[in-house]
Amino acid sequence: MKIPDNFLYYLTLHENCNERLLARAENLLAEEVEVCIHQEVARIKKMVYAVMGEAHRMKAFVRLQPLGTRVLYGFFKPRHRIGEHICDHFSRRNAGIIIVLGNGSESWISLCREGKIRRDHSRGMAETLERLKSALHCSEDGSNMESLWQVYYDSQYCPERKNLAAFRRHMPKRDQDSAGLRLVQNKKNATLEDFLSD
């Protein structure tokens, strides 16, 4: 991994970032952060890597479920302040669909339309989903779609990836919990058709 030119953005998202550290980092170039061995600069580098690593894992492992035809939501409890960043990522990938990520205490909402992203940060996800459901008059027929999404995610298990030590090293338990990840293992070459026929 290399320190990106916009490393200040990632630094601001770290849970322990403060004004003094930001002021120090503003005077640095990405190349200096990459190679400097000064203790404070090394701390900045470590913080940037921590945020980038968590963001990367959440983009890969957060599972979205449908609520009607216009909303996708997923459980998400990050350590760093990346809620809006990850929600925007999914919003860009699903333009025109409202994306809700959250947990029991807070939620993030993004909608990408015509290249612009509209955002909201709200209370717990359950409350946010209820508000959206009543505002959009979502029908209850989304439950079949939810099970279809779960079937798809379950079918993605690859038995060749049984190196659990490597998986846990790159995806610690706390991040699995943060993403609401439910691993299905030992399905022996399962495909989506196998799950649908169950």
For 103-164, strand residue ranges (E) read 107-113, 116-122
Pairing state of beta strands 65-67 and 71-75? antiparallel
Tokens of 136: 């959009």
Q: Are 4 and 10 in contact (CB under 8 A)?
A: yes
| pLDDT at site 133 | 81
Domain boundaries, the chain: 7-53, 62-178
User: Does the structural domain 62-178 have CATH classification 3.10.310?
Assistant: yes
| pLDDT at site 5 | 93
| pLDDT at site 31 | 92
* Grouped pLDDT means (10 residues each) for the chain, 198 residues: 91 95 93 91 95 94 88 93 96 93 93 91 88 68 54 55 68 70 53 50
Adjacent-strand bridge partners of 20? none
CA–CA gap between residue 12 and residue 113 (Å, rounded): 26
| pLDDT at site 147 | 57
